Structure 1
């Protein structure tokens, strides 16, 4: 989730028609794949799969997701598995391309006969494959993708469970709280073209209306843009006091760098959940000092004393020789929830028993703001915090709300 900052790829360039068309094709294909039994469930093991961007634009971030998922599964297997079964994970490359993802999921379903897809990465790649998976009777758990879009393309299937916070609802919650607290009078928005920007904007508009405000200015940018001088100039010309930045990693740094270059010290910049990441603080350096962000999960530094976070970080470093980031922490957390759902499903595991088991689980760990459960197969409650970069690190400005 966040997206968090890794969710840069295909969805950001897809329009609504393309997403729905791809989903319809996948649903049609999936109808011919539905098995007569619970695929991947054997007397001694459960076979699951995932598809990650191992060779595309987000490849650098994939070891964190893969390693953390494998770590959680290895811990469960070392403790005897789930109802006596070991969990075996098969990983495929989607290259951040929907067509490659479709082939990868076809293999996982047809050849490997996986029971579930766990932590599959990418909004575009998941949009192209979730219909195929659920129609084949395959559980899809914790896709790293825009959750509201995924449920839409899955046709409301009971087999899809999402954990990434919705961008529109979380931005709406953040602004509903902060507009009066900050005394905002003139707000402008810088939005990525496509569904990501549209989702953020869908959260901004009702919050402004409730406060009796309208946007003073808007500016768009395309995925991959690195120069934000014109967008920031439009905000300054409109004399805004607050900028909402529908940006991920590089774009967040780019907006803040331009604000700092202009010496514009009296404007507040608030980035959405995907831009509130440790990567932004680390890469942006002094340029991102003072940036506000919408937080959706707890962050922990390398020297954390939180028992759960400390145990995870130590285990991860021992296994992989590296300090895990927040994406690894979230992948580990989602995998633990998946394992709890398997446990709750009972020894007679089917897609239906998993669905019932998952809906009964409650989840809370070092990443979460509060105990969560599935409502309409989406992780709730969607609590947020407002954080600010101070001294190179995100510092909470509010309690989760």
Structure 2
């Protein structure tokens, strides 16, 4: 960006701050973790627990971005240092890890932390310390909705499709398109699952239907026989799944055992290559919503193709949605940190984030843009379906 454009963007952020209520102007934002040569970032991931199929590639993508940025000279002369904590998808461990990252490691920002229950448990630690929470790998509403009475909530930003809004849009579309009459939901009994449930409930209100069955399971469960038996006995023709990877496959495997074959539909948490890889023919025809097209290495083009090949060469793993999200999280941070200028401070970074300046990734995702009153950038969703073992985009403009 030219110097004039940079100044205009930053002034826009400052003017935006001036227009906010007095309480919002009192937001405390740290400048710890910034030295003349370095910016320290933190993240907590699941590298060993039930959703490590998310945590490992997200972390790999983040590391790849850090290496790329540092090899090019860093951000306005500062190299990035990323500290990763494995919390195993355990909220208590996420709290302890966040305390360590804030108090001992002195991170400037938490970038891309994974999981609704873990992010929720640790979020207040960050906000109270003035540490921005950027782009959590969860679509829960608490990661971007702001309470006007709590100025510290201005430190929350997210760029992934909300579970509630995207499930609502996708479920409504399928119900209407297929003429489905007996919708049901099976969801994980935590913050993530309840967001999916809310989207399902809103879709039913939109279509003037009532739920034929509503059932849940405890996080970490592997036996879904009673839940699937209930869905079948209640005659469900459409099942919305508030599940992650192995739970999704487990439910569909149990359904096959019972001869139960409704239309299955999942949230963004299921729109990953691991679902068809693990479930194989069980998952053929499964629908889900997502925020980006899957970056398959043999079909990606341009810079996305180069990135996919580099990722595979570096980690001996196929690139996927999770790795692209992790990469994008760091690149998005870098965009706004660069915009904030060489004299980087917490307040200047916050102004840059809220300036309305646009970040566009290489994967064809909707553009990222924030303002003083809008800290969610993802409001357009993709409807996808598994065909011949791969996710195929059916509709690119799902909205509420």
TM-score by length of 2: 0.84
Does residue 39 of the first structure (1) align with residue 32 of the second (2)?
yes
**Is 1:252 aligned to residue 251 of structure 2?**
no
- Among candidates 186, 190, 210, match of residue 190 of structure 1: 186
Quick check: 1:228–1:254 contact (8 Å CA) kept in 2?
A: yes
Paired residues in the alignment total: 367
What is residue 44 of structure 2 aligned with on the other side? 51
Deviations 1:56-105 (A, max 9, x none): 44446433222221211221122121111112222233343334333333
Cα distance in structure 1, aligned partners of 2:246 and 2:63: 28
* 1:207-251 residue CA offsets vs partner (Å, 9 max, x unmatched): 212222111222222223323333233223232321112211111
Partner of 2:60: 67
2:312 is paired with a residue whose SS is: helix
* Distance change (3 Å), C-alpha of 1:350 and 1:305: same
Of 143, 154, 158, 1:150 maps to 143
Report the Cα distance in structure 2 between the residues aligned to 1:188 and 1:35, rounded to whole angstroms: 44
Give the aligned partner of residue 232 of structure 2. 236
SS class of match (1:157): helix
Q: Is 1:385 equivalent to 2:378 in the alignment?
A: no
Shift of 1:37: 6.4
Q: CA deviation at 1:160?
A: 1.9
Q: Which residue of 2 aligns with 1:353?
A: 348
Mark the CA change 1:243 to 1:313 in structure 2 (over 3 Å): closer, same or farther.
same
1:147–1:362 Cα change, 3 Å: farther
Structure 2 residue corresponding to 1:81, chosen from 65, 71, 74: 74
Kindly tell me: are residues 379 and 312 of structure 1, through their superposed partners in 2, closer, same or farther at Cα, counting changes over 3 Å?
farther
Which residue in 2 is equivalent to 1:324? Answer: 319
What stretches of structure 1 move > 6 A for 4+ residues in a row? 34-37, 152-155
1:324 CA displacement: 2.4
For residues 62 and 174 of structure 1, what CA distance do their matches in structure 2 show? 25
In structure 2, C-alpha distance between the alignment counterparts of 1:241 and 1:37, rounded to whole Å: 51
Q: Write the mapping of 1:279-358 to structure 2, written as runs, cut at 5 A.
A: 279-358=274-353
Would the aligned equivalents of 2:51 and 2:245 in 1 still touch at CA under 8 Å?
A: no
1:51 to 1:240, Cα distance in 2 relative to 1, 3 A: closer
Query: Taking structure 1 as reference, are residues 390 and 59 closer, same or farther at Cα in structure 2, changes over 3 Å only?
Result: closer
Give the Å deviation of 1:280.
0.6
Structure-2 separation of matches of 1:354 and 1:107: 23
Which moved further from structure 2: 290-299 or 363-372?
363-372
Unaligned runs of 5+ in 1: 1-33
Matched residue, 1:278: 273
**1:354-369 correspondence runs (5 A):** 354-359=349-354, 360-369=356-365
In structure 1, C-alpha distance between the alignment counterparts of 2:224 and 2:81, rounded to whole Å: 45
Aligned 1:136-147 pairs, distance under 5 A: 136-147=129-140
* Cα distance in 1, alignment partners of residues 212 and 218 from structure 2: 21
Matched residue, 2:3: none
Determine the C-alpha separation between the residues in 2 that align with 1:155 and 1:219: 37
- The structural deviation recorded for 1:285 is 0.8
Is the contact between residue 186 and residue 242 of structure 2 (CA under 8 Å) also seen in structure 1? yes
Question: Which of residues 173, 176, 181 is equivalent to 2:169?
Answer: 173
Q: For 2:370, what is the secondary structure of its paired residue?
A: strand
**2: distance between equivalents of 1:188 and 1:278?**
25
> Residues of 2 paired with 1:305 and 1:122: CA distance?
27
Gap runs ≥5 in structure 2:
1-26
Quote the residue 1:97 is aligned against. 90
C-alpha spacing 1:158/1:283, structure 2 compared with 1 (3 Å): same
TM-score by length of 1: 0.83
